[in-house]
Structure 1
Amino acid sequence: MNFNQIINMITRMVMRRVINKGVNAGIDKAMGAGKANQDLSPEERAQNRAARKQARQMKQSAKMARRMSRF
């Protein structure tokens, strides 16, 4: 391995981490802060739970897509 390959490898590694954090932050920002749990009705709590589950699935999907795009 020469010096340029090592620099490129390190740059790709750093950029991948930055992009991953950006995607996760964007998903979190889109979900919004919301209200405290005790201020919500049972229906709203169920909706909150479903939204958090969906956000978690979106993050996993984005992670898988990034993993597949490497090949």
Structure 2
Amino acid sequence: MNLNQIINMVTRIFLRKGVNWGINKGTQMISNRGKSGASVPPADPHHANQAREAAKRARKAAAVTRRIGR
């Protein structure tokens, strides 16, 4: 390995972490609609369970899609 490959590898690692951090923060902001946690009213437990299950199904679907794409 030459120095250029090592620098590119380290740069990609930090860039990936930074992009993932930004995506996660943006997703959290959208899910909270820009409000702080204290001002969001508590959700109905039934709807919260439905949302949790929908998110679980979406994660599983994404995993299956990634497996198929390989």
| TM bucket, shorter chain | 0.5 to 0.7
Deviation for aligned residue 1:46:
2.3
- TM-score, with length taken from structure 1: 0.55
Matches within 5 A, 1:3-14: 3-14=3-14
- The 1:11/1:26 distance shift into structure 2, 3 A limit, reads same
Cα RMSD of the aligned pairs, angstroms, is: 3.0
Structure 2 spans left out of the alignment, 5+ residues: none
SS in structure 1 at match of 2:41: coil
- How far, CA to CA, are the matches of 1:17 and 1:50 in structure 2? 31
Number of residue-to-residue matches in the alignment? 58
Deviation for aligned residue 1:22:
1.2
RCO (CA 8 Å, sep 6+): is it higher in 1 or 2? 1
- The 1:17/1:10 distance shift into structure 2, 3 A limit, reads same
- How far, CA to CA, are the matches of 2:14 and 2:55 in structure 1? 24
Segments ≥4 residues shifted beyond 4 Å = 52-58
Determine the structure 2 residue equivalent to 1:21: 21
- TM-score, with length taken from structure 2: 0.55
Structure with greater helix share of residues: 1
